[in-house]
């Protein structure tokens, strides 16, 4: 997988039970990354295996991100945010899931429906 050039302050890496980033992690992203911790069984050893699959297998990467974005979306929806804030968060998540960063696997409108679990 060829990684696109993105600002490093926007990257969060979950490995085992730790997160690595150059910036503050907002509560919604903590939820997202906690899904990746669980996917890796909170283990750096298993995390190595997970990361190899994540980097090499497009379908695996997509499935892992869908699960994380769905949990993130559920958390946002459970908060007392305005409908506009919730909509903007969903649009941002769908934009990320459909982006070059994950390999342009789906169009944004498809990503939006997948995150909302409509499909």
Q: Is the pLDDT of residue 4 over 60?
A: no
Predicted confidence at residue 19, as pLDDT, reads 95
Helix and strand tally (H, E) in the chain? 5, 2
Q: How far is CA 101 from CA 4, 46, 49, in A?
A: 6, 23, 20
Q: Is the pLDDT of residue 1 over 70?
A: no
Predicted confidence at residue 44, as pLDDT, reads 96
Q: What is the pTM of this model?
A: 0.92
Predicted confidence at residue 101, as pLDDT, reads 84
Over residues 55-74, mean pLDDT: 96
Q: How far apart are CA 48 and CA 52, in angstroms?
A: 6
Predicted confidence at residue 107, as pLDDT, reads 97
Q: Is the pLDDT of residue 102 over 90?
A: no
């Amino acid at each position: 997988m060829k990684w696109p050039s993105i600002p490093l302050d926007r990257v969060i890496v979950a490995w085992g039970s730790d997160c690595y980033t150059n910036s503050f992690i907002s509560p919604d992203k903590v939820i997202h990354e906690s899904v990746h911790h669980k996917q890796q069984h909170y283990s750096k050893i298993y995390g190595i295996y997970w990361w190899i699959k994540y980097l090499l297998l497009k379908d695996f990467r997509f499935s892992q991100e869908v699960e994380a974005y769905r949990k993130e979306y559920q958390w946002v929806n459970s908060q007392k945010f305005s409908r506009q804030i919730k909509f903007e968060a969903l649009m941002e998540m769908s934009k990320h899931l459909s982006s070059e960063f994950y390999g342009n696997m789906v169009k944004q409108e498809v990503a939006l429906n997948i995150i909302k679990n409509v499909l």
